[in-house]
Copies of this chain bind each other. A is one copy, B any other.
Amino acid sequence: MIPFDRIVKIDKDLNIPVYRQIAVAIINAIRNSVLKAGTHLPGSRELAKILGVHRKTVIAAYEELNAQDWIVIVPRKQVSVAEHIPVLKPQDWSQSQLKKSYKNEFSLPFRTVEKSGLSVGITSVFDIIIDDGHPDVGLSPIDDLLKTYRTLASRKHSVKDAHIGTEQGTLKLRKELVSYLSETRGLNITAENILITHGAQMSIYLSSQLLLNNSTKIIIGKPNYLIANNAFKETGTNIIEVDVDNDGIDVYAIEELCKKIKIDAVYVIPHHHYPTTVMLSVERRMKLLELSNEFLFTIIEDDYDYDYHYSSSPYLPLASADHNGNVIYIGSFSKMLDPAIRIGFMVAPQNFVTQCTALRNAIDVGGDGYMQNALAMMIKDGELKRHIKKAKKIYHSRRDHLDTLLREKLGEYITYWLPTGGMAIWIKLLPQYPIGHLEVMNGLKIKRISIAQNAFRFGFASMDEKELENAVDLLVLQFQKFKAKEK
């Protein structure tokens, strides 16, 4: 006697119709060979009695099973498990009910991936998170962006526009960027030179995948943006580190390297180098362009932090200079608006953009066309510029406020250079205070700590004056605790 009352467990609190619960239970019993091919099942009246449900419910379940080919129904005669179900090894049914379909680890060979820079361990339970340079989302015109988004998603014509060609980015946004990038960055391009991505990182990944492999060499700054490094490592390329000083990456060291070995690409973050926040000087910018011409390497210019400068306008990008075409320019709107708004861009010669678009299509068929077009409208009507202007003023005063706090309260523990722009200060601890003791703190979490540099990034843009004060006070406490312990 097959124990149907134990095979089929009905849970009336579940959000699944009872007939479907019965059907699923029977399918699982067939799969686990509790019910074998050809086994007769009770008539609907009988099973209804066993399970304490209405007969119509069982009929619905059987119809479902029949439609899915699990059982064969001969009307008014019998119901049986289909003959074509292969017989598997029998299992104890009471155990099999408990099994998780993903109880097993994946056991076949697969490769592992570099993980540095993953935001492991950061959860929303911390009262204060010192990020590595996020915008203040409260200032962001995201609500206006979303209003436009809603309008675009509700009108037939704009829906079409948002669905077409999003692997390269909507034409509307690319066209808007042509004039925006010309006005703000002196880039002289067409819509064909632009690829819209999910952010700066995707542009880095795509261009690395096309340019690099295990027989190439790329130069990066030391220290560098770790997540970019992960993208380079994915290609198997050889990574060569060159020191970054107060004028940015050492281009003269790059020149020496180029004289000795073939260099294929140089990755630079001209404003402001991550994590140290220095700006690449004008002199070095020109030198780097010269070297690219002479030694024929690609410049990957990651200019994620272009928009916020406090003492002067930003330097124009390398990409805006007269160059040989081998400069890939990368930017993002996530730093202007909100890290959740996944829109970035890459500017490159058209033949390169075409290949990147094809690769992007293989990774991810497209982007959020509504969001792209809503952003396009925000750029067109000048709202983005107004936002940046407003945010710049506020970030400027936050930078200065943090500067004051650091000098007054943490002066005996740290050193730093005040960056001319950006959203973070790179803070070095004096050697007698190892950064390790800042890794675990009550109510405060620092996102980007460098053990090697005994330093961390203090993102000031996302915090108001009070929050900056609270964060600094918590740091002071931590330093004092450490000092007391050392004595």
Q: Which residues does A use to contact B, with CB under 8 Å?
A: 14-16, 20, 23-24, 27-28, 31-32, 64, 67-70, 82, 84-86, 88, 91, 96, 99-115, 117-119, 122-124, 129, 134, 137-138, 142-143, 146-147, 149-150, 153-154, 156-157, 159-167, 183, 186-190, 193, 197-199, 201-202, 205, 210-211, 213, 227, 230-231, 233-234, 264, 281-283, 286-287, 290, 296-298, 311-313, 315-316, 319-326, 338-342, 347-352, 355, 357-359, 361-371, 382
Contact = CB atoms under 8 A, between A and B. Distances in A.
A28 to B, nearest CB: 8
Given A108-B326, A201-B361, A231-B363, 14 more contacts: A15-B382, A67-B313, A69-B282, A86-B290, A88-B286, A101-B320, A102-B187, A106-B351, A110-B352, A119-B164, A124-B157, A143-B150, A143-B153, A230-B362
A38 to B, nearest CB: 14
Given A112-B355, A351-B106, A31 B322 contact: yes
A358 B68 contact: no
Nearest to A189: B102
Contacts of A147: 150
Contacts of A186: 24, 28, 101
A361 to B, nearest CB: 5
A350 B210 CA distance: 30
Contact of A358 (B118, B129, B189): B118
A181 to B, nearest CB: 10
Given A153-B338, A183-B16, A313-B64, A325 B114 contact: no
B368 A70 contact: no
A70 B100 contact: no
B167 A153 contact: no
A227 B340 contact: no
A363 B201 contact: yes
21 contacts: A32-B322, A68-B313, A99-B188, A104-B323, A106-B352, A109-B211, A115-B358, A115-B361, A118-B358, A118-B361, A123-B164, A146-B146, A166-B340, A201-B362, A205-B362, A205-B363, A231-B362, A340-B368, A340-B371, A363-B363, A368-B368
A41 to B, nearest CB: 16
A101 B323 contact: yes
A153 B321 CA distance: 39
Contact of A24 (B113, B316, B326, B347): B316
A187 B101 CA distance: 7
A307 to B, nearest CB: 14
Contact of A199 (B187, B352, B362, B365): B365
Contacts of A24: 186, 316
A146 B143 contact: no
A131 B14 CA distance: 37
Most B CB within 10 A of own CB, among A105, A290, A296: A105
B201 A364 contact: yes
B183 A15 contact: yes
User: What are the 6 closest A-B residue pairs judged by CB atoms, nearest first?
Assistant: A104-B325, A67-B312, A230-B362, A113-B358, A106-B352, A106-B349
Contact of A110 (B15, B115, B210, B282): B210
Contacts of A190: 102
